[in-house]
Amino acid sequence: MKVKEIVLPGEVVDERKGRKLGSGVYLGDDKVFSKVLGIPKVDENEISVIALSGVYIPRVGDRIIGIINEVEISGWSVDINSPYTAFLPFSEAVEEFVDMSRTDLSRYFDIGDTIYCKISKVTKNKVVQVSMNDMSAKKLYSGVIVKVTPTKIPRIIGRGGSMISLMKNKTKCDIIPGQNGVVWIKGEDKTKAIEAVLTVEKESHIVGLTEKIEKMLT
């Protein structure tokens, strides 16, 4: 079985040659070293290493799937599958004008509700705010949640969305991959979709994965 090259923390990925440093790497003497156990991604513009494991560290702009875990006075606390909890302010979630001192916010979102939202703010100390003020943001009803290593999500999406389209078409399921490693699946034949997602996670470093998934789902 052919695998992509693996690098380890402390190993040289490449010489910098003026390129941008992406995630998973650090600079020393104009050489670029890996910070993590992962797969190097090197092109003319950027050098990075995709970690094979690790938790989700929130970044502004990420579209993620979160679960409401606390209803507060002016918003909700959201579990975003990270060491850091996020806050969804009322103003970022509901368009109505409402007297918050008299309203119980749980009529909008309650504990356990699943939402697809966007990371709108991350401070230096990783205090996180999310927002539903985005075209794709919505509450997700029924369906199941699968958690995978966040760095595998791009592989689950595939180049230009090729992998996720393949999975959606073949299983006739609705699949939303959150960049925080949470994947939401809804449909009749969820099992196949779940298996496909888990297979991509497990074998993301194996060459020829797309063909394998195609075969699996036919």
Partner 1 sequence: MRIDGRQPEDLREIQMKIDIISSANGSAEVKFGNTVAVAGVYGPKGLFPRHLQESETGILRCRYNMAPFSVDERKSPGPDRRSVELSKVIRLSIEPTIFLEEFPRATIDGFIEIIQADGSTRVTGINALSLALASAGIPMRDLVTACSVGKINDTLIVDLNGEEDNNSQADISFAILPSKNLVTLLQMDGILGKEELIELLNMAKSSCEKIYEMQKKLLKEKYSGE
Per CB under 8 A, residues contacting partner 1 are 1, 3, 6, 8-11, 24, 26, 33, 35-38, 51-55, 57, 83-85, 124-126, 149, 151, 205-206
Cα 153–158–160 angle (5° rounding)?
Answer: 125
Shortest spacing between CB 157 and partner 1, in angstroms: 20
Nearer to partner 1, 86 or 176 (CB): 86
| CB 68 within 8 Å of CB 186 | no
Nearest approach in angstroms of CB 198 to partner 1 is 15
- The least distance separating partner 1 from the CB of residue 14, rounded to whole angstroms, comes to 15
Contact at 8 Å (CB) between 78 and 87? Answer: yes
Q: How far apart are CA 150 and CA 6, in angstroms?
A: 18
The nearest distance, CB 37 to partner 1, in angstroms, is: 5
Nearer to partner 1, 1 or 135 (CB): 1
Nearer Cβ to partner 1 (123/218): 123
- For partner 1, the closer of residues 17 and 124 by Cβ is 124
Q: How many CB atoms lie within 10 A of CB 162?
A: 11
Smaller CB separation from partner 1, 114 or 151: 151
Q: Report, in Å, the least distance between residue 28 CB and partner 1.
A: 8
Concatenating the DSSP letter of every residue in 133-190 gives: -STT-EEE-S-EEEE--GGGHHHHH-GGGHHHHHHHHHHT-EEEE-TTSEEEEESTTH
